[in-house]
Amino acid sequence: MDYWKEGHRIAREIGHGVVYNGPQLVDDEFLFHMFTDEEATGTTFGARTLEEAKAKLMEKRQQFGAAPVAFPEIFDPLGILDAFQRDLDRILSRL
């Protein structure tokens, strides 16, 4: 899989000033994509999928009191974030 291409696609689909920083790999195993919210918070966040990236962006904007981003197709952003954390914990436990 071309992680750079996938990460750039996710950033384009999100929009709202999100830029792609690159994939995070450990021993050639993909952990997540890194993004920066340049438009509102200047913070970085990791996500494996488009849905996770949208949920993380919503969470970051809320934490920093920035203008919210609405993604109507996400009905449970906290559930997505929980699933992301479980996947990350599972991967890291094998290292």
Count structural domains, the chain. 1
Q: At what angle do helices 77-93 and 50-63 cross, to 10 degrees?
A: 110
Q: pTM score, two decimals?
A: 0.75
- Residues facing residue 32 across a β-bridge: 24
Element (H, E) at 25: strand 18-26
- Mean of pLDDT values over 15-20: 93
Report pLDDT digits (tens) over 72-92. 665 666 677 777 788 778 878
- The domain in which residue 42 lies consists of 3-93
Residue 11 has pLDDT above 90, yes or no: yes
What CA–CA distances, in Å, run from 85 to 7, 66, 90?
A: 19, 24, 8
Q: Quote the pLDDT of residue 58.
A: 87
